[in-house]
């Protein structure tokens, strides 16, 4: 959905705001990729780099919010434009949280490297990360191209991430019950998996916002959610 305004400078400002979102999203996707590589290759230096670069994601979020607020203050947008700008602030916040989860994955690389390894779980986490990266990439395409159908497709794919998390959760419980020496390692992997599952939730939230921007109404359907591990009470939102 594209609108041409009387002021071409307003169109340019909106375009710059959207470009900042795409740049931020692409950076966050790359952070998840690098964090996953660091975990698979035991590369603690790369993990530290991912952690340090989280500050750049935070700065992008601040800049996008500031630009959006200035647009509201100076242009007094209404209707579709106001909905677009306000939703963009929320999208930026969602991407910032996904970046935090990538950082948290990187933070646990050192601990994983110095404990017993559980190979099957690493494969499941790798699949989860691939799904997350695909969801981020596609929801950005949906945002920039105003593609409602693609946004709905991303929204539905969150259940695939949940299914992988549930499989890993059951596997880790089995390891911990049968092999106490794996408790520390399994706990770190559960933190990583839960953070990644939460990243999928935020990508789904962004898909809902893309739908809202274009349709002017909330996505009126039952949200796909199949995380059956909610009884595990752990603090996974640590920064």
pLDDT tens, residue by residue, 49-94: 999 999 999 999 999 999 999 999 988 877 888 999 999 999 999 9
Output the pLDDT for position 19.
95
Rounded mean pLDDT, 138-148: 96
Over pLDDT 90: what percentage of the chain?
62
Distances (CA, A) of 168 to 11, 162, 201: 47, 10, 17
**pTM for this predicted structure:** 0.86
Output the pLDDT for position 234.
41
Q: What is the mean pLDDT of the chain?
A: 87
Higher pLDDT, 93 or 116: 93
Output the pLDDT for position 145.
95
Q: Does 123 score more than 90 pLDDT?
A: no
Rounded mean pLDDT, 5-9: 64
203-230: per-residue pLDDT in tens? 999 999 999 999 988 887 655 555 555 4
Domains and CATH numbers, the chain: 8-215 (1.20.58.220)
103-112: per-residue pLDDT in tens? 999 998 888 8
């Amino acid at each position: 959905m594209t609108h041409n305004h009387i002021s071409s400078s307003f169109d340019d400002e909106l375009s710059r705001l959207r470009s900042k979102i795409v740049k931020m999203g692409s950076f966050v996707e790359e952070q998840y990729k690098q964090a996953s590589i660091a975990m698979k290759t035991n590369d603690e230096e790369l993990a530290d780099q991912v952690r340090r670069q989280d500050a750049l994601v935070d700065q992008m979020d601040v800049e996008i919010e500031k630009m959006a607020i200035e647009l509201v203050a100076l242009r007094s947008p209404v209707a579709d434009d106001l909905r677009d700008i306000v939703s963009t602030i929320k999208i930026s916040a969602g991407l910032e949280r996904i970046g935090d989860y990538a950082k948290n994955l990187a933070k646990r690389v050192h601990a994983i490297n110095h404990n017993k390894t559980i190979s099957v779980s690493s494969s499941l986490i790798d699949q989860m990360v691939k799904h997350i990266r695909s969801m981020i990439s596609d929801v950005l395409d949906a945002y920039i191209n105003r593609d409602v159908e693609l946004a709905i497709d991303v929204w539905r794919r969150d259940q695939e991430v949940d299914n992988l998390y549930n499989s890993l959760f059951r596997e880790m419980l089995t390891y911990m019950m049968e092999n106490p020496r794996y408790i520390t390692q399994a706990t770190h992997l559960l933190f990583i998996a839960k953070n990644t599952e939460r990243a999928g939730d935020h990508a789904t939230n962004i898909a809902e916002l893309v739908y809202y921007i274009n349709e002017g109404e909330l996505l009126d359907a039952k949200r796909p959610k199949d995380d059956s591990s909610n009884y595990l009470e752990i603090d996974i939102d640590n920064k």
